[in-house]
Structure 1
Amino acid sequence: IIATGGPTEETILKTIEAGANAISYTPPTNAEIFSEIMDKYRKERE
C-alpha cells in the first residue's frame, strides 16, 4: 500500500500505523524554505 503521509510527522506515523507499506512525501518548496530562512534572519536583525 502506497499512501500520502499528510503534512505533519504525526499524520505520517498514523498512516504507517494504519498499514501503509510506503509513504509518498512532498518536500517544502524552495519558496517555503527561503521564506523561513528570511524570517529567521529578520528576527535576528531586530
Structure 2
Amino acid sequence: MATTVRSSSARKAEHLRINLQEDVSSDSATGLDEFHFRHLALPEI
C-alpha cells in the first residue's frame, strides 16, 4: 500500500510540474462544442 501511495504522489507531482512548466495547450477540439443542452430546472419539492 505504501508503494502505491508513493507512486500516486509521484505521478501527481509530475502531472502538476508538467502543467505548470511546459506548454501543454492544444488547438484540437473535443467535439463537445457540438452539443447544446437546454436547462430544465425542476421545481423545489
TM-score per shorter chain, which class?
A: 0.3 to 0.5
Q: Structure 2 length as normaliser, TM-score?
A: 0.38
Larger Rg: 2
- Report 1 or 2 for greater relative contact order, CA contacts < 8 Å, sequence distance ≥ 6: 1
Q: Structure 1 length as normaliser, TM-score?
A: 0.37
